[in-house]
Amino acid sequence: MKYIIGNHKMNLDYITLKGYLKALKKVAKNSDNKVGVCVPYVYLDLAKKVLKGSNVLYGAQNMYYKEAGAFTGEVSPKMLIDFNCDMVILGHSERRHIFNETNNEINNKVISALNNNLTPILCVGETLEERNNKQTKKVILAQLKQGLKNIELENAKKIIFAYEPVWAIGTGVSATALDAETICKYIKEQLNKLFSTEFNFVVLYGGSMSEKNVSELLNNPSIDGGLIGGASLTIEKFKPLINYKN
């Protein structure tokens, strides 16, 4: 069993998404995997209605860590709970590098999500420059340490981690299976060191996963699934990933 989670980012309109979600319910019904989708905030009510009673998980792509207050334009964890969200993506590279979110902000969001019974999908990953300078592991370890500050083991076990190399997101260029496996394995090893445990943390790979490379990537023991961007935007492209079998 793998986690196959779509991240729609800022894509699709209401009518298109409604048809998509109806089709997703049917496709996911017989899947051996845990299937989910993270839609824009404005479509969470649609996801709630269409996906009701299905085995498809759904959630948001971000949230603020405060539960209420004068934070114009932000959405709180309590608001996500109103729509019965299962999960929320936090620390995605586009949030880090376009909107300048810091590890400290992301840490606050992870803690808030856990406190509100939302499953955080905590993303980590390096830029092309950092990769070229052989800083990948150093960068990821810092993101993990700071992003998990003040979080106990029992809560850490509830987090889904995603390795998202910035240079591979939306570029059509994916990490090699060996690269992805090496870093996902490293993430698991470092998490076990940080928490002095031997727990099998869930680590996904995100970064131009598609029908062409899904088997090559997911056949690796340390890769527990995918956080899928572009290939999740149509059922035709998403279906082969949903139907992946070990």
Cα–Cα distance between 223 and 71 in angstroms, integer? 37
Question: Two tokens at 31?
Answer: 């899947």
Cα–Cα distance between 156 and 240 in angstroms, integer? 31
Residue matched to tokens 């056949």 = 219
Residue of 153, 142, 160 whose CA lies nearest to 204: 160
Contact 235, 24 (CB under 8 A): yes
Cα–Cα distance between 245 and 12 in angstroms, integer? 28
Residue 27 C-alpha from the chain's centroid:
20
Cα–Cα distance between 95 and 235 in angstroms, integer? 26
The catalytic residues are 92, 164
The dihedrals phi and psi of 208, each to the nearest 5 degrees, come to: 60, 40
In eight-state DSSP terms, residue 81 is H
Cα–Cα distance between 121 and 181 in angstroms, integer? 18
In eight-state DSSP terms, residue 54 is S
Neighbours of 220 (CB within 10 A): 16
